A and B are shown apart, each in its own frame.
Chain A
Amino acid sequence: MHHLQHSGEVMSCKANGAVYPASTTVMTTVKKPKMEQIQADHELFLQAFEKPTQIYRFLRTRNLIAPIFLHRTLTFMTHRNTRTNAKRKTFKVDDMLLRVEKMKGEQESHSLSSHLQLTFTGFFHKDEKPSQNSENEQGSVSLEVLLVKVCHKKRKDVSCPVKQVPTGKKQVPLNPDCSKQTKPGSLPSLLVSSNEFEPSNSHMVKSYSLLFRVLRTGRRDMNGLVNGEANENIDVTEVPSRKKRSSTHREDGENTETFVAQMTVFDKNRRLQLLDGEYEVSMQGMEDCPVSKKRATWETILDGKRLPPFETFSQGPTLQFTLRWTGDASDKSTAPVAKPLATRNSDGSSPMESRPSALKSAPLAVKASVSTDIQMKKEQILCEPRQKLRIFYQFLYNNNTRQQTEARDDLHCPWCTLNCRKLYSLLKHLKQSHSRFIFNYVPHPKGARIDVSINECYDGSYVGNPQDIHSQPGFAFSRNGPVKRTAVTHVLVCRPKRTKPSLSEFLESEDGELEQQRTYVSGHNRLYFHSDSCMPLRPQEMDVDSEDERDPEWLREKTATQLEEFTDVNEGEKEVMKLWNLHVMKHGFIADNQMNQASMQFVEKCGAYIARRNLCRNFLLHLVSMHDFNLVSVATIDRAMSRLRRIQEELPDAGADDQKTGQPPMDVFMTCWNLYYG
């Protein structure tokens, strides 16, 4: 069974959903697989699945911290979106003003709100499952809440003076079963008077924060097996952590563990950080290495190991409570109301609230994580009746000759722990977001089997906007604040005809296999270059076909120089010919019957130049010649010449000086041309 350890790590998504013991490999004939064989098999498995899994776990975290998109906006995840568009019908623009005004009023009155009410739902610790650890023995832990006031440094002070004001102690239920909705009144709650937050006495208070301290006494069994069903499979990851933490409960039996967490109420700019809402605070054991405030980042360090920030919610102990600002002792809320978090999209959709506080003290965030028991359960309660689906993931590797099976009881994505809630959504999500693997759906009497294999055709090349890479090298992926990344913005409205969602689309297809595996990206998924300079095409240049002019500059110059080479053509003729050639090249005339029009256009465009350069007779010769070729009519000659005469008369000074100067140099000529044609 050793070789299965790793699948545990692979699947260490760690979700609540119970992980089932894996059915072993297909090597049925071997009675007692030798150690080496197991080792080799394990190596093969690792080779296949380790890298992509690591990548997807990294991406999951990144998407939680700084989401590129929200899952709820995807069509197959619409059930994650709790917002309805029902209000849109009755919406008026004035409503927005009203709402803002109301909010303003509330904020002003906020300072008057007299109490901060904390109602504790419970203290959750992974290791302690209520099912196993008896309810009667350890039903609660002792919680102490202190108000920490960090004051401004005075000259003599070495560091900021800190005052701790105890606000009360409560017994908080340990790992309560949240499927049972307890009455709010029965839960322990604390009141902190708003007077405490008023600036007072000698020290100017810089910031206020709440310090939660949980004291837990209780008997622990040493082997720490949590769950009757649990096996080595999942616990592999926990083994080292437990060993490390053993310092906290070194002695067997009765011992006391202390967990602390701190949350900022008002920051040093006196901005309120805690709005009304439900919170879940990740607690840390006192012995755990403290997070230095200087380097507070999104990273979480647990047991000396770096953990993705939200991992703490599934790993470490958490405290859940409801926070409310009340105007009086009664329950009337006056503080700005945040939506109850449970109804929100759980997956990283609320970083706005979580960011400031989380930055202050690392292992803390608004209850926004995925995969906490309560939340998941609540979701299930709220949204759909619990599906008793069992999903068997069958990992195929070594050219599909080997396989390992893993089963789960929920519809969470094993790589990003996203609760997909529906089988269709799960499959679609896997296919769309984890294209390094190939997923094939096989119906199963107990639920579904998903065959997972490595996508050999995976194209890991960049598929984002190609301009991003080039236009701001080094900036495109920087996450240090908003960066303007494209010069153009496209608003796309696309309502494609979608086929009705059906699980059959995930079945393994015989012929379309190639098509399925190919990463198919249509459209302009590459960086284009200018054909003349090989410089990258900037996005705002996409629509101009710049290098495809009919009369490129070199050709314009070429026709002029070529005419210039004639020795038996006089300068007047040359100049008219050049002008005409440029005119024809510019407009690309193709038909004889365009010539009348072309000649008139020529007069309009170049008439002034012809008059100023004193070329009228040569122009007339040109027209007569065109007439000799049967390309223009006599009427056109008449009209063109009379137009030219009129232009000549309108000229401010009938360029007498131009007559003297002979042939204009080529560059002057070209400039003139550019002047007339822009």
Chain B
Amino acid sequence: ETETAVDSEETVMHPYQHKGPVCWRRRVKSEYMRLRQLKRFRRADEVKSMFNSNRQRILERTDILNAEWKTRRIQPCVCVWSCLLQCTVDSGFSEFSKQVIPLKTLNAVASVPVMYSWSPLQQNFMVEDETVLHNIPYMGDEILDQDGTFIEELIKNYDGKVHGDRECGFINDEIFVELVGALTQYSDNDDEDDDEEEQEFKLEKMESLPYFPSLGPCPFKFLSPYTLLSDSSKKFPSDKIFEAISSMFPDKGSTEELREKYKELTEPQLPGALPPECTPNMDGPNARSVQREQSLHSFHTLFCRRCFKYDCFLHPFHATPNTYKRKNMENLVDSKPCGDECYMYLVKRSKTPSKRPVRRDHQQFRYIHTCASQTPYPVLCTHPHTNHCLLCNPEGNSRCQTPVKLKLTCDPQVVDWSGAEASLFRVLIGTYYDNYCAIARLIGTKTCRQVYEFRVKESSIIARAPAEDEDTPPRKKKRKHRYAMKIQLKKDGSSNHVYNYQPCDHPRQPCDSSCPCVTAQNFCEKFCQCSSECQNRFPGCRCKAQCNTKQCPCYLAVRECDPDLCLTCGAAEHWDSKNVSCKNCSIQRGAKKHLLLAPSDVAGWGIFIKEPVQKNEFISEYCGEIISQDEADRRGKVYDKYMCSFLFNLNNDFVVDATRKGNKIRFANHSVHPNCYAKVMMVNGDHRIGIFAKRTIQTGEELFFDYRYSQADALKYVGIERESEMP
């Protein structure tokens, strides 16, 4: 539509419009098309070179394999019998003799079933909903002929969005910048005729610029700010360009927005420059002196307390530790001086009125404990009744009061504290409080006396530092745009549904009917922010047996034993060994059986067990991508057409899809007489699917389980071992 509009405008172009918006629109269009084409060529070249390099790799690999074969000792197949079978080539000309070679036959090798590529994993992997159809599936012409509307309906599921659609309005950041750059040339030309004033001003500016043609790099430092300034002022494109682009691509934003975006995108990137929100590397040369939260921000926000990993694959939200409480107060203060130069001698010599015995701290920390919930990290507080806080700042901010009387007998040593050291100090003081010896040891480059002195100096400075936003620290940004994870808990009230667990976080509120865990009928887990005395917490088991009967409360609740709760059954022991007394912790430990892949006796591929297993023994976890129910509906449509589905309902909110990622058990076929069964279990806060033996299974048996309990509709699309086929 846009195209025709432009064309019509072009035909009736008035001479005045030469520099008008219509002209600009035309320029935008032609430049855009040119850039697109350029990009296409570039892309084609890329593909070509990729293909060639790939080809090269294949050849190299082939050479390696050939070399390997040459080293093998292979017995030549001297076959007396096959002399009877000969191949003869007769040229028909007398001068060429007949060529005869014995015919050797090789055994036919059966072809293997079709397998679509997949990636192996041993733990579920959460992926976002796909809002764009990534590829239009092809499954043979006949299927599409039968159901012509299938593709249409599929695209409709994605609101008509198809990946890589070459719609006219498609424009990304890279093209945008290039487009503006290309259009600037026109603007320069226009300037000559049009904006006389501006031109003059520009020329003036140009003249004023110092120009040293023969000078070496020496004056560059001096020059650089000017050049930068002049460059940017000269090159920054006129509003007309953004106006034109905005009118061509209205969905990309207004003129102002586009200008801002351009500014942002073209801002000179100095080497090593970091976005303003990024804390400089503490080990790097640019380390700055920052607050504790800032130093630890990345670690706190990215760490997944449930997976113990940073930016884990499974949990989109990571709770920050600021509301966590200390379970046990550790003995933080060394009671003995660390050496001759220890700060303690200084302090002692100062004859503080009360030398603080270590034990006494208990009560004081209790206080910290309570106030910690308001502050982002455990901070130092003075006991309200010991009025020793001489250097306590007048604002009365409880943050950085110091518990000791900071009075030095000797003059403080004059030492430089680098930014990194200062930051590190602030980080450690939040953990070690007044154990300056330990802090000094960890900083490494300062003595405890220097640390102590710095502490004396710091206490006022820190206190005056403006309190950072204390509530929620900003989440980490990714360069590549990631769609915000939508997790909508579909609560339709049916009681037999199982909902996904999400750690609850409602400060100062007990876990009652308003707690998400309670409403979802889940127990509170160790990841919840509620107290460990919470009534909704699962207590774990105290079994001394194998936890494989309903005697075990964990087993009864379809939970695996929690190694941090169940301390008697063995779930928390023998991490490296397979012989754990508790039989109810196999999924988390990944105590899977060795499975072997071979063409199935029923349909397609099948999975076979290497060693015999007993009834109810754990075989494998059914792993895959965790997708939302909506996404599963969309994907399921395609899978149904392929007659091959790896979808498995996990709970009311999520589905496991082993199509793209999974483990070998995904090849288990359906049977109405299965030898395995699936059980969704709560494993340390995650629902996971365990596949267990329904009966004793012998070596080399193919594994089947009943899909009907997991996916009602997919049944007709999978290989089924039917009743009659049972031995």
Which A positions have Cβ atoms within 8 angstroms of B? 297, 469-470, 473-478, 480-481, 483, 514, 518, 522-532, 534, 537, 542, 545, 547-550, 552, 554-555, 558-559, 562-563, 565-573, 577-578, 580-581, 584-585, 588-595, 597-598, 614-618, 620-622, 624-631, 633-635, 637-638, 641-642, 645, 659, 662
Known interface pairs A594-B575, A618-B281; A524-B699 also in contact (CB < 8 Å) = yes
Decide: A523 and B700 in contact? CB cutoff 8 A: yes
Shortest beta-carbon distance from A562 to chain B in Å: 6
| Given A522-B699, A534-B115; A638-B309 close (CB under 8 Å) | no
What is the CB-to-nearest-CB distance from A618 to chain B, in angstroms, rounded to a whole number? 6
Q: A473-B107, A591-B563 are in contact. Are A572 and B281 (CB under 8 A)?
A: yes
Name A580's closest neighbour in chain B (CB-CB): B310
Known: A569-B302, A570-B284. A624 touches B109 (CB 8 A): no
B57 at the interface (CB under 8 A from A): no
A563 vs B312: C-alpha distance when bound (angstroms) = 10
Distance between Cα atoms of A437 and B127 in the complex (Å):
57
**B458 to nearest A CB, angstroms?**
18
B77: contacting residue among A474, A523, A592, CB under 8 A: A474
Q: A590-B563, A592-B564 in contact; A634/B310 too (CB < 8 A)?
A: no
Docked Cα-Cα span, A548 to B120, in Å, equals 7
A545 adjacent to B121 (CB under 8 Å): no
Cα of A151 to Cα of B412 in the assembled complex, Å: 117
Q: Kindly list chain A residues whose C-beta atoms are within 8 Å of the C-beta of B330.
A: 633-635
| A617 lies within 8 A of B122 (CB) | no
State the Cβ distance, A377 to closest chain B Cβ, in Å: 37
In whole angstroms, how far apart are the Cα atoms of A471 and B617 in the complex?
A: 34
Q: Which residues of A contact B157 (CB under 8 A)?
A: none
B287 nearest in chain A by CB position: A617
B326 at the interface (CB under 8 A from A): yes
Contacts of A566 in B (CB 8 A): 298, 302, 311, 476-479
- Asked if B663 is at the interface of the complex by the 8 Å CB criterion, the answer is yes
B99-131 interface with A by 8 A CB criterion: 104-107, 109, 112, 115, 119-123
- The minimal Cβ–Cβ distance linking B568 to chain A, given in whole angstroms, is 14
Residue tally, chain B, CB below 8 Å to A: 93
| Nearest opposing residue in chain A for B698, CB measure | A522
Assess whether B377 is interfacial by the CB under 8 Å rule: yes
A568, B275: Cβ atoms closer than 8 Å: yes
Task: Indicate if the CB atoms of B310 and A577 lie closer than 8 Å.
Answer: yes
Asked whether, in the complex, the Cβ of B122 is within 8 Å of the Cβ of A548, the reply is: yes
Q: Judge whether B594 and A592 touch: CB under 8 Å.
A: no
Query: In chain B, residues 62-110, which have Cβ atoms closer than 8 Å to a Cβ of chain A?
Result: 75, 77-80, 104-107, 109
- Beyond A566-B477, A581-B310, A624-B431, 18 additional pairs, beta carbon < 8 A: A473-B106, A474-B105, A524-B608, A531-B120, A547-B664, A565-B478, A566-B476, A566-B479, A568-B274, A570-B280, A571-B281, A577-B299, A589-B308, A618-B281, A620-B427, A625-B303, A628-B431, A634-B431
Whether B121 lies near A552 (C-beta < 8 A) is yes
Q: Which of B104, B272, B281 has the most CB of A within 10 A?
A: B281
Q: Is B324 an interface residue (CB 8 A)?
A: yes
A620 and B332 contact, CB distance less than 8 A: no
B282 interface residue, CB < 8 Å from A? yes
Q: Which residues from chain A contact B311 at a C-beta distance below 8 Å?
A: 559, 562-563, 566, 577, 581
Which residue of chain A is the closest to B302 with respect to CB atoms? A577
Stretch at the interface among B15-23, B242-250, B397-405, B584-592: B584-592
Out of B123, B278, B295, B727, name the residue touching A518 (CB < 8 Å): B727
> Is B6 part of the contact surface with A, judged by Cβ < 8 Å?
no
- A474, A537, A620, A626: the one contacting B596 at CB < 8 Å is A537
B76 to A, closest residue via Cβ: A480
Q: Which residue from A483, A526, A631 sits with its C-beta under 8 Å from B608?
A: A526
Complex interface: chain A residues within 8 A of B550 (CB)? none
Chain B residues, Cβ within 8 Å of A592: 526, 563-564
* Most chain B CB neighbours (cut-off 10 Å) among A532, A542, A617, A620: A617
Interchain CB contact (< 8 A) of B444 among A470, A554, A645, A659: A645
Q: What is the distance, in angstroms, from B654's C-beta to the closest C-beta of chain A?
A: 20
A545 with B281: CB separation less than 8 A: no
A460, chain B: closest CB distance, angstroms:
14
Residues of chain A lying within 8 A (CB to CB) of residue B321: 625, 628-630
Determine the residue in chain A with the shortest Cβ distance to B600. A526
A residues less than 8 Å from B106 (CB atoms): 473-474
Interface positions, chain B 317-350, Cβ under 8 Å from A, are 321, 324-327, 330, 332
The smallest C-beta distance from A580 to any residue of chain B, in angstroms, reads 7
Of A545, A595, A616, which one neighbours B308 at CB under 8 angstroms? Answer: A595
Q: Given A480-B77, A662-B272: A625 and B112 within 8 A (CB)? A: no
Q: Which residues of A contact B332 (CB under 8 A)?
A: 634
Task: State whether B307 touches A621 (Cβ < 8 A).
Answer: no
Residue in A closest to B428 when the chains form the complex, CB atoms: A624
Q: Can you name 21 A-B pairs with beta carbons within 8 Å?
A: A523-B700, A524-B608, A528-B597, A529-B112, A550-B122, A554-B119, A559-B311, A566-B298, A566-B476, A568-B277, A584-B309, A585-B309, A594-B563, A621-B427, A625-B303, A625-B321, A628-B324, A628-B377, A629-B321, A634-B332, A638-B442
